Amino acid sequence: MSQLQLGLIITGVVVLLGVVLHNLWQARRNRPRQADASVFGPNDEPALHEPTLDQASDDGFALPVPEKKPSLDALIDVIAPIALEAPVTGDAILAAMPPTRRIGSKPFTLEGQAQGHLGWEFPVAGQRYIQLQAGIQLANRSGALNDIEFSEFVMKTQTFSDIVGGTPDFPDMRQEISRARELDQFASDHDAQLSFVLRARRAAWSASYIQQMAAKLGFVPGSIAGRMVLPASQAGLPPVLSLSFDAQAALAEDPAQSALRELSLTLDVAQVDPGERAFQRMREAAQTLAQEMDGQMSDDNGVALPAEALDVIGSELAHLYDTLAQRELAAGSALARRLFS
C-alpha cells in the first residue's frame, strides 16, 4: 500500500470520527434537559414546600387572612328576605332545600339567623332559625344575571318558602337586572389575568426537569396534570401563581423522556391579595427560570418583555388594585373571589 493510499485512509477515518463525534455532541446538546438526580436522588420526588409566613412578610406587606365562607352581600347578590311564621329547625330547612346550589351559571344561596345569634350562616342541623334569606349572585365570569335566571330564583325561593312556612320579599326584577349588567360591565373592564411564556432557547426541557426547577421556587403539584401552583401564605386561599406545561407530557409513562419547549406562568389578579406580592413574585420567578433553564420570557404573543415593559405592567396593576378597593371589591377579598370566578 502506497503512502498516499495510507494517508487517504487515515484522513477518511479522522473525518468519519469527527462526523460521529459532532452528531453525538449535537444529540446531547438537543436532548431534553433532565432533572438533577444528585439533588433529589433517582427515585425521589422533588422536595415540595410552601412559603412560610416570614418569607411572605419580608417586604412589610400585611398578610391576607382567610375569611369565613362569605355570606350574601347586597353588593354582588340579589337578596330576598324570608319572614317565618315560627322558628324553623335546621333539619327542616336542609330537607326543604333544592337539590342544586346553582341557577343557570349563578350560585344560589340560602342562609339563616339562629336564635341567640346576630350573624347569618348556612343552616345546620340542631339549630333553630328565626329568619331566613335567599340570594343569587348578580354576575360572575359567565356574565350578568338574566331574566330567566331571576325568574327561576323566584320560583325556587317561593317553593322553598312554602315548605318551611315563610313569606319571601322579592326585590324589583328590572332594578336587579340593571344592577347585574352594571356590575358585570365593571367586572369585565377590571378583570386581569396575566400570563408570561418561557420558551427554550436551545435544548428542550423534560417534564421532570420543569417540575424540579419550579419546586426550587416553592411551586407544588396542582390538581391538574401539567399544572403547579405557588401556594398562598394562608391555607384555604387561591394560589398566588400557577405554572403550566403540556398535560400529555406530565401524564407520560416516563416524564423524563418528554421534550417541552415552553411553559407559562399565570396570575389571576382579582383572586390574590396584594399582600402576597403576586406580580413581583411572578416577575422574579419568570426571570429566575429563564436564566437557569436557558429560556426567553415573552407575552402570549411571543413579544419579549424587557424590564421597562414589566415596570409599566406593575404600575397598571397598582392602579387596578386601587380601583377594586374603592368599589369595595379589593383583590383577594371574598367578594372579589366570588365575582371574578
Domain ranges of the chain: 37-63+192-339, 77-188
Joined grid coordinates for residue 151: 325568574
**Amino acid 253: pLDDT:** 80
Residue 218 above 60 pLDDT?
yes
Q: Whose CA is closest to 194, among 288, 279, 272, 281?
A: 279
pLDDT band at 61, cuts 50/70/90?
very low
Residue 42 above 70 pLDDT?
no
Asked whether this chain's domains 37-63+192-339 and 77-188 adopt the same fold, the reply is: yes
The angle at the Cα of 135, spanning 133 to 70, to the nearest 5 degrees, equals 90
CATH number 3.30.1400.10 is the correct assignment for the domain at 37-63+192-339 = yes
- Quickly tell me which residue has 374603592 as its cell: 326
Residue 242 above 70 pLDDT?
yes
The whole-number average pLDDT for the span 232-236 is: 93
The whole-number average pLDDT for the span 295-306 is: 91
Separation CA 240–CA 254 (nearest Å) = 29
For residues 63, 64, 68 and 74, what is the CA-based torsion angle, rounded to 10 degrees? 140
**CATH homologous superfamily for the domain 77-188:** ZipA, C-terminal FtsZ-binding domain (3.30.1400.10)
Q: What's the whole-model pTM score? A: 0.79
Q: Which residue has the higher pLDDT, 149 or 14?
A: 149
Task: Read off φ and ψ for residue 267, nearest 5 degrees.
Answer: -125, 120
